[in-house]
Amino acid sequence: MLTISVPATSANLGPGFDSMGLALDMQLTLTVLGPSTTWQVDHPFGNEVPHDERNLMIKTALSLHPDLTPQHVSVTSEIPLARGLGSSSTAIVAGLALANELAATPISREALLTRATALEGHPDNVAPAILGGLVVATAADGDVQAVKLPTPDLFASVYVPNEELLTAASREALPSELPYKAAIAGSSIANTLVAALATQNWDLALTLLEQDRFHEQFRAHLVPALAIVRQTAHELGLKGTYLSGAGPTIVTLGRQAELQQLQAQLKQNPTLDGQYHLLPIDAAGVKVEKS
């Protein structure tokens, strides 16, 4: 039996827009049950998500190796759809890993990353899903480069609103261009954030996570919970709250005990009636087990 597990991802990390991502220990698991006459995908997402070769995971696998023998697969996932936790990226990575394991000629993780980035459009979600931990990546001119930084000794408080926010709608809120000085300011903050993360200066990193200039201010009206969570964290003396991916999920990084206190406070607010998770960081990325 073949089992593939892919972690959820939280992208952008504030100023690291489209280039930084973190793998979280919330898993999508794909199990190959055996060969079949046609592709069959058992999953819990309802009939709106295809159960055959039209499923994103299978389409992705066949895009890498079109001649794969059809399989009966079972999929379970803790990752909510369209919430900013990389659900589409995990499906893409799972599909590529499936093709890589079933094919006679597998490709390297670096090649998988290049392929996944081409399919997803940006490396900030797929890179940590493949490599695990904290990753800074770029796909400038189609050349994907990824650097895995030290895994933060932190937990993630994850608040998932009940309402979906599609990436396309969130993208539409962004301006087509930024003034030169604003772009320089955003870039300098992002550069310093990378330096703080690389040197494991977590206190500085948590402060800089909240100083984005590229996207959060333009998306704030779509995710009113962001300001509430951040303000509640500040009242407890905590920094490190940011919009995960395109939203609407909100992540606060910090020490486990402090985040438990934060969640207890947030749950007292009747407007924050979504789902709460307290997650460690997944340092491994996509995992394959054979039995």
SS3 42: strand
User: Are 273 and 78 in contact, with CB atoms under 8 Å apart?
Assistant: no
233 carries a ligand binding annotation: no
84 carries a ligand binding annotation: yes
Parallel, antiparallel, or unpaired: how do β-strands 40-42 and 71-77 relate? parallel
Eight-state DSSP code of residue 222? G
Using only the alpha carbons of the chain, give its radius of gyration.
19
199 carries a ligand binding annotation: no
247 carries a ligand binding annotation: no
85 carries a ligand binding annotation: yes
SS3 138: strand
CA atoms within 13 A on the CB side of 38: 7
81 carries a ligand binding annotation: yes
89 carries a ligand binding annotation: yes
Phi, psi (deg, nearest 5) at residue 144: -85, 125
Annotated binding-site positions for ATP: 80-90
Annotated binding-site positions: 80-90
